[in-house]
Amino acid sequence: MTYQITDMGNGTHQIQVSFFDEGVELEGETTVKGTPEDAERYVSVFERDLRTNYAYLFPQPEPEEVPVDEVH
């Protein structure tokens, strides 16, 4: 995931995230009020919400194979 924070003035920052680097065609954009540090902290929250809401776009992890001898 890549992101960019842009100062919009009046204490507002725009966050743009992209998942193209992961092969997922998803981009997101939001605005937060506060300092650049506040925006930086919010990026991870925004990213997590996008991964949750658009989980169907992301490749699902392969289920771990359980060795037969461990099956009881």
Partner 1 sequence: MDRLIREANPPTGQLASPVPQYKRPGSTDYEAVEGQHGAPFATLKDASGNVVSPATEDKLEQVRQLLAGVATENKLEQARTLLDAISTKDFATQTTLAAVLAKLEQLETEIQAVKANQVSGDQKVTLSGTKVVESAPVTGIKTVTSTVAEVFAGSSRKANRSKLVIRNLHQAVAIRIGGSGITDTIGQSLEPGASVEIDFSPSTTVPIYAVSTAGNVSVEVLEV
Contact assessment for residue 14 and residue 34, using Cβ atoms and an 8 Å cutoff: no
Classified as helix, coil or strand, 59 is: coil
Give the three-state DSSP class for 21. helix
Q: How many residues bind partner 1 (CB under 8 A)?
A: 24
Least gap, CB of 63 to partner 1 (angstroms): 25
Q: CA-to-CA distance for 33 and 14, rounded, in angstroms?
A: 9
Binding residues among 9-68 for partner 1 as defined by CB under 8 A? 10-12, 26-34, 38-39, 41-42, 45-46, 48-50, 52-54
Binding positions for partner 1, rule: CB under 8 A = 10-12, 26-34, 38-39, 41-42, 45-46, 48-50, 52-54
